[in-house]
Amino acid sequence: CRFIFPDNLLGISWVDSSWIPILNNGSVLDYFSERSNPFYDRTCNNEVVKMQRMTLDHLNQMVGVEYILLHAQEPILFIIRKQQRQSPTQVIPLADYYIIAGVIYQAPDLGSVINSRVLTAVHGIQSAFEEAMSYCRYHPSKGYWWHFKDQEEREKTKPKAKKKEEPSSIFQRQRVDALLLDLRQKFPPRFVQQKPGEKPIPVDQIKKEPEPAPEAVKPEEKETVKNAQSAGAKGPPEKRMRLQ
C-alpha cells in the first residue's frame, strides 16, 4: 500500500501509542523512522546506516539528507532536525520536527509563520471593512451617515420625555363643568356610593326624608300679613303741604 502525502505537512501530525512508554534519547530516532511516519524520508543517510548496521557516528562521514536529535527533555519533548550534509563540518538545516507526548509535528518555518500572520491580519481588516460598510447609508439629499443596530436598540429602550401639561384656562374649566352638568341631567346616576369604601346602592333604594309640614298660622297673624300686603300694594300715603 502506497501513501501519498501533500507537500505541506504543517497541518498534520503522527503518533504511535505503542512507543510512548519507551521513548527516550536512544529510541526517539527509531520511533521517528517508522514506515508509517509521513515526516520521514526513506532516502536519507539514517536509513543507509540502519540497513548496514552501523552507528550514527558514521553520518558525519557521509553526504546527503540526515536526521539528528537536536534537543531532548525526557519524557515529554524531543526536537529532531532534518539537514543536508555537505561535509563533516558543513550542514544546511531543512526542517525541524518536535515530539510532544509522543505526537510528532513539523515546526513551521519563518516564511510560513509570517504568511499565516499576514493572512490573519488581512482577514481581520477585511472583515472590519465589510462590517463597517454594512452600517453605511447614503441619500442624495442627506449624503452619507452611519446607522448602527445598537443605536436603534438604545432609541427603543430610551424612555421618552414627558411633555409638560399646560394649565387649563377659566373658559375651558367652565365649559367642561357645563358639559358635565348637562350629561348628568340627561343621564342621571343609577347607583350612589354614600361613603367611600362602601358598596354602591341603587338610587331607588335610598329612603327620602319626609318634608316638614307647614306650621299652623294663627288667624291674627294672617290678618297682619294681609294688611302688610295690601299696604305694600297701595303704596305710601301722599305727603300734605304744611301751612305756615
Q: How many angstroms from the chain centroid is the CA of residue 83?
A: 53
- Concatenating the DSSP letter of every residue in 65-98 gives EEEEEEEEETTTEEEEEEEEEEETTEEEEEEEEE
**pLDDT given at position 123:** 94
* pLDDT single digits (tens) 230-242: 555 455 555 555 5
**pLDDT given at position 158:** 67
Residue 77 near residue 95, CB atoms below 8 Å:
no
Helix/strand/coil percentages in the chain, nearest 5: 35, 20, 45
Residue 85 near residue 91, CB atoms below 8 Å:
yes
* pLDDT single digits (tens) 29-65: 999 999 899 999 999 999 999 888 888 888 888 999 9
**pLDDT given at position 64:** 92
**pLDDT given at position 93:** 93
Spell out the domains of the chain, with CATH numbers in brackets.
Answer: 12-107 (3.10.450.580), 112-153 (no CATH)
Cell 394649565: give the residue: 167
Positions in the chain whose pLDDT score sits under 50: 1-6, 225, 233, 243-244
Residue 73 near residue 24, CB atoms below 8 Å:
no
- 64: part of which helix (H) or strand (E)? strand 64-73
For the whole model, what pTM was predicted? 0.49
Q: How far apart are CA 217 and CA 171, in angstroms?
A: 49
CA dihedral sign, ordered 224, 228, 233, 234: positive
**pLDDT given at position 142:** 83
Residues 41, 44, 48, CA angle at the centre, nearest 5°?
Answer: 125
Distances (CA, A) of 54 to 33, 57, 81: 15, 8, 20
Count of Cβ atoms closer than 10 Å to residue 39 Cβ:
19
**pLDDT given at position 207:** 61
**pLDDT given at position 143:** 87
Cell of 183: 350629561
Burial class of residue 126 (count of CB atoms within 10 Å of its CB; 0-12, 13-18, 19+): exposed
